[in-house]
Structure 1
Amino acid sequence: MQDYVLSGRPILHHANSNDGSSGLSENIAITDDDVFLYNKDIGDVGIAGHLDDVKQIINYHENYLVPKYKLKHDYYIGRHHKITSLPEKPLNKPDNRLTFNLPKKLVSTFNGYFSGEPVVIKHQSDNSQTDDDALNGKIQAWLNANDYGDVFSEWSKQADIYGRSYLYLYEVGILSRESDEVQTQLKMAVCSPRDTIVVYDDSIEHNPVFAIRYSTGAARQYGELITKDAVYQFDTMASGDAQGSLIVTNADRNDPDRVVKSDMLNFPALPVIELAEDSDRAGLFDDSINLIDAIDNVMSSKGNDNDTFNESYLVITGDELDDKQIEMLQGSHVINIYPKQKTAINTNDGKVTPSAAFLSPDPHDEAKENFLNRAIDMVYQTSQVVNLNDANFGMSAQSISGVALLQRYQPMQARARVKSHKMDKALRQMFAILFKQWSENANPNDLTFDHKQSIPHNMLEEAQTVKTLDGQVSDVTKLGYLSRIDDPAAEVERLKEENKEVIDEAKVNVDQYVTDQQKKAGVGDGGAHDSAGTTTDSTTNKSGQPDRPAK
C-alpha cells in the first residue's frame, strides 16, 4: 500500500501497470515527484494548438495519479483500505475492523500548528513613491474580503493530505452601486490535485506554463485549460469524435491559433498557484501508511480477543452430559468430551473423574500493547508531528521550561519552516498578479510574511528573563524575549508615547495647581488681598494719592 501511494513508479509493478511511457508524447515528461514537464519551446503560447498533448496529460493523471490521491483522501477520512478489504472470518468468529484514524490526527495537529493563526503579510519598501501604509490597508481589505484565513488553512490542509494543493485566482464582475458599472475583482479558491494539474516547462527553472481543471463524466472530459493570457473551455462531447478529442468551445474551432473571443486574461503569471508540502511533494502520512495498517490490524485483533473472552467455551471432559443438563446450559458455549468406554484412566476406584474448564486463547496482550506504543510513536516520529496525547506531554506548559518546549516542538518547527518557504514563494506569485490588476507600482519581493505557529510558551519564565535583562540590554532586545509581542520596536515606541502622555498630563496638572495657588495668593490679578478679604491698590500711598517716582 505504501509503495503504491508514494510519488513515482512503484517498486511492485503489479501495484501500478504504468510502464513508464503510458502514451505520453515526446513533448511531455513526468518527474519522480509526479510533476508534468512540457516542451518550453511550445510553452503556453502554442498549447491551444496541441490539444492532443493536453488530453494525454489528462488521461495519465486520471489513470495513475487520481487513484493515489483518492486513496490518500480515504485514509484521511478514516476509510482504511487494508483492514476493510481483509477476507471475512470463518464460522462466525469475531471479525472487528477497527480503524485508528491517525492520518486525520496528524493533519489536524500539524495544520492547526502551521496555519491556526493566519500569516501576517506586510509590504515594506525603500521606494518613496510607494505608500506602504495605504498599500497594506488595501492588501488587508482584499484578504479579509476573500476570507483568507479559511482559504489559506484549506490550501495548507490539502497539501498535508495530497502533498500539493492549488490556489486559483479568477476574475469576477461586480456591479458598482456608485457608478452602475461592472468592476472586475480578483477572487481566490482552493483546488484539489484530484481534478487540477499544473504543468511546468522543461527548463532548469521549471516555470509554470499552463494548468488544467477537468471533470470526467460518461465518456466525456470537460473543463478549462488555463494560461496567463486566456482560459480555454474544452469538452470532448463537442467534437463528435469517437476518440473523444478535445475541442475548445469558447473559440473558433477553424482558427488554428484558437483565439478566445472572451475569457481573456492579462496576468503576469499563471493564476493557478501550487503549494507543495515539501520538495518531494509527499503527504504528511505517505510514508507511514504501512505502520497505520499494522496498528489497525492489532487494534482489530484486540477487539476480537475481547469478543472471544465474552464467548468462551465451557469444556467438560470425562463424563457425558444428558439432554437435561445440556438444556440447563443453553446460551453457553459447551464442548463435551468423554470416552466411549470408561477405562481405568483417570479413575478413582474404577470411576471416571469428570472435569470442567473454560477454553480461552492466550491474548498476548502485553506484547500487543508494546507494539502499539512503539508503532504509534514511530508514526509521529516519521511525520515529524508532536504527539500531544503523549503521557510525557501531559503536564502544563507553565511547568515546562522554554527550552524543553522548543525541543519537543523542534521537529515540527523544522517541517513548518520548510513549508513556510514554499508558501512564501507561492504568495509572491499571487501578489504579482494582484498588483498587476491594481496597477500598483509595488514589488512582490518587498513583501514580508510572518507565520505565527501555535507554540505554547512559559510566560512566567519569559517575564523573569525580561526582568533580569533590565538595564543590561536595549528595550527592543529585552522585549524580544516576550513571545506575545510581535514587534518589539513598535512596542517600545508605544511605550514612549504612553510615557509622554503621562508626563504631559502630569505637567498640565502641576500648571493648573500652580495657577490655582497663585489665584488664592492674589498673584497676577493686579491687587493684594488682606486678611479681611478686601483688596488694596498697591500703587497708592496711605494718603490715597498715587506714589510718585523718587527724584
Structure 2
Amino acid sequence: MNKLEINESLFLTMYEEFKIQRAGKLRYKKYYDGEHDILTNYTMSEDQSNMKLVFNFPKKFVTSLTGYSLGQPINYISKIGDEEVVKLIDKHFGYWEKAHNQKLSKNADIFGEAYEINYINKQGEFHSMVTTPLDMYVLTDGTPENNVIVGIHNFTKRFEKVEYLDVYVGNEILHYSIIEGKLIYISKDEHIFDTVPINICQANDESECVYKDIITLVNVYNIINSDLSNEISDHRNSMLKIMKANIEEEDLKRMKKLGVILVPDGANVDWLIKNINDDFVQNMINNIEQKIYDLMDMVNFNEQWASNTSNVALKNKLLALSHRCTLKEAMMEKTLLRRVRNFFKFIKVKENIQYDYRDLKVKFTRDLPFDLVGLADAISKLENIVSQHTLLTLLPFVENADYEMEKFNKEKELNRIALDDKGDGNA
C-alpha cells in the first residue's frame, strides 16, 4: 500500500474538496438562519398579496437539542477515585467549557459534524475554538478512532481581501495565503501536542445534518401557511362577478386601485368565492406539523397539557428524544475525552505530571424539570447503599459534587465547633 504523501499538492487537493463540501453544507446553515426555499421560489401572483411565511423548525429543534443535553454543565468523574484530576480539569475548563460545548454541539447538529482546535492561548492557558465544514476540511486515518492526520482551516482577515489557509499536520501549523488558486507559503509554528490538535464532533454516525429529513416537510408547511395567509388577505381563490354591465380591463385596474366600482342601474356585483374546506386544510397542517415533530423525536410543548402532568409522565413523552440524545452524547463524549487527552499533554509539558484520560468518564445531566420531593425521597432510601458523592450527582442543581461535599463537610465541622463552644460556655 502506497504511503500518503503529505505535501502542498495534497493541501491543494484538500482545498478543492473543501470548496465542494462548503457548497453542499451551506444549505443547512441557510435553513438554520431562516433562509428557506420559499423566499426564492414561491409562486407569485400579480396584483395580489405574496407574503412568504417562514417557520424555522430547524433552529427551534437544534436549540432544544442543545439545551436538553448541554443546558447543565458536564461533569468529569474519575473511575479510579482521583479527585485531584477532576479539580484540575474544572479549574482549567470551568470558565469556558459550557458555552464552548454548546456551540460545538449546535454546529455539529447543523452540519452533521463540527470541529474543535485545541491550542495554548497568549496567557499560556489551554483553550479550544470551534470550526465547521464552512471553514475547515479534515483528512482522517480511516481507523475506528478517526484520527485527523491533516486539517486545513480556511479564513480571511478583517479589512483584507486575501484568503488564508492554516494547515495542521503532525506537530506543525503551516501558514499559507491563496492567490489565484496557488498556495503562497508564509511561515510555520509548532505546537506541544504530538498529534494534530483537531477533534471531530459528529452529530450521528452518518455525519448528517439532524434536520435533513424534515426540510421537504418544512417547505410544504411554509407554502401552505403562506397560501392561506394570502388567501385571507386578498381572496386569492375568489373572483369578482359583474352582471348586466360592460367593464373594460383598464376600468377594472382603476377601480381596484381606487376601491370603487361604478356600474349602471340594475347591474349586480358580488364575489364568486371558491369554498375552502377549513377542516381539510387544518388537518393537513396539523398532520405535517406532527410529522415534523415525529421525525425529530420532539415533543410539541405548545400543545395543551394537563396541569397535573407528573415528572414520570413527562419523561415518558420525552423517551424518543432521550434516545436520540443518548446517541448524540456518546459522540460528544469521544470529543470531550480527546480534548482531555490533549489537555493532559499540556499538563505533562507544563507541570511534568502524567495523567491518563482513559481513567475518566463523562456525565451529562439533562436539562429537565425535576421532582425535588421525589428525588429527596429516593436519595434518603439510598443513603446507606451508595456513597454521598453518588447521591449528590443525582441532584440536577449540583454542578460539582466534589465541591458540594467539601462545603458540606466544612459546614458540619463549623457546626460541631460551634456546639462544642456552646457546651463549654454552659459548663
The answer to whether the aligner puts 1:84 opposite 2:26 as a matched pair is: no
Q: Of the candidates 408, 430, 448, which is equivalent to residue 361 of structure 2?
A: 448
1:35 is aligned to none
* Preserved contact between residue 255 and residue 261 of structure 2 (Cα < 8 Å): no
Give the Cα–Cα distance (whole angstroms) in 2 for the partners of residues 209 and 329 of structure 1. 68
| Alignment correspondent of 1:168 | 117
TM-score by length of 2: 0.83
Residue 41 of structure 1 is matched in structure 2 by 3
1:549 match: none
Q: 1:320 to 1:438 in 2, by over 3 A?
A: closer
Rounded to whole Å, the distance in 2 between the matches of 1:450 and 1:105 is: 25
SS at match of 1:213: strand
Deviation, 1:219, is 11
Aligned to 1:413: 322
The match for 1:274 is 200
CA deviations over 1:452-508 (Å, ceiling 9, x no partner): 2211123344456667x4999778598887655678899789778766765665565
Which residue in 2 is equivalent to 1:193? 133
Could you say what secondary structure the match of 1:282 adopts?
A: coil
State the match for 1:287 in structure 2. Answer: 213
The question of whether the paired residues in 1 share the 8 Å contact of 2:67 and 2:367 is answered with yes
Deviation digits for residues 60-90 of structure 1 (CA, Å, limit 9, x no counterpart): 2213x2122211111111110244223432x
Structure-2 separation of matches of 1:471 and 1:60? 57
- The worse-fitting range, judged by mean Cα deviation, of 272-281 and 450-459 is 450-459
Greater Cα radius of gyration, structure 1 or 2: 1
- Asked if the contact 1:40/1:203 (under 8 Å) is kept, the reply is no
In structure 2, C-alpha distance between the alignment counterparts of 1:472 and 1:410, rounded to whole Å: 30
Task: Give the aligned residue type for 2:346.
Answer: Q
SS at match of 2:185: coil
Instruction: Check 1:382–1:508 CA distance in 2 against 1; reply closer, same or farther (3 A cut).
Output: same
Residues 328 and 148 of structure 1: CA distance in aligned 2, closer, same or farther (over 3 Å): closer
TM-score (norm 1): 0.66
1:249 aligns with 2:186: yes
Distance 1:226 1:496, change over 3 A: closer
Shift of 1:228: 3.3
Find the counterpart in structure 2 of residue 60 from structure 1: 17
Distance in 2, Cα, partners of 1:152 & 1:164: 13
The aligned counterpart of 1:546 is: none
Task: Tell me the matched-pair count.
Answer: 417
Q: Work out the CA distance in 2 between the residues paired with 1:150 and 1:487.
A: 17
The percentage of counterpart residues that share the same residue type is 20
1:428 is aligned to 2:354: no
RMSD (CA atoms): 3.9
Structure 1 residues 321-378: Cα deviation after superposition (integer angstroms, max 9, x where no partner): 9xxxx99998447597x9xxxxxxxxxxxxx986543233323332222111111121
1:41 is aligned with what amino acid?
K
CA displacement 1:252-300 (0-9 Å, x = unmatched): xxxxxxxxxx402231332111110011112221111000000010011
Deviation at 1:140, TM superposition (A): 2.2
Following TM superposition, by how much is the alpha carbon of 1:311 offset from its aligned partner in structure 2, in angstroms? 11
- Distance in 1 between residues matched to 2:207 and 2:337, nearest whole Å: 20
Alignment of 1:304-315 (within 5 A): 304-309=230-235, 315=241
Counterpart contact for 2:230–2:236, Cα < 8 Å: no
Distance 1:192 1:510 in 2: 65
- Residue pairs, 1:145-544, within 5 angstroms: 145=95, 147-174=96-123, 184-203=124-143, 205-215=145-155, 222-237=164-179, 244-250=181-187, 262-309=188-235, 315-318=241-244, 331-332=258-259, 355-392=268-305, 395-396=306-307, 399-439=308-348, 440-463=353-376, 469=381, 483-484=396-397, 505-506=418-419, 509-513=422-426, 515=427
Amino acid at match of 1:93: Q
User: 2:276 and 2:121 mapped to 1: Cα distance?
Assistant: 63
Hey, what's the Cα distance between the residues in 2 that align with 1:139 and 1:478? 22
Unpaired stretches in structure 1, ≥5 consecutive residues: 1-38, 175-183, 251-261, 339-351, 516-551
Listed as ranges, the gaps of 5+ residues in structure 2 are none
The offset of 1:92, in angstroms, is 1.6
What are the equivalent positions in structure 2 for 1:129-144 lying under 5 Å apart? 132-133=83-84, 135-144=85-94
- Tell me: CA distance 1:309–1:270, structure 2 relative to 1, closer, same or farther (3 Å): same
Q: Which residue of structure 2 aligns with residue 259 of structure 1? A: none
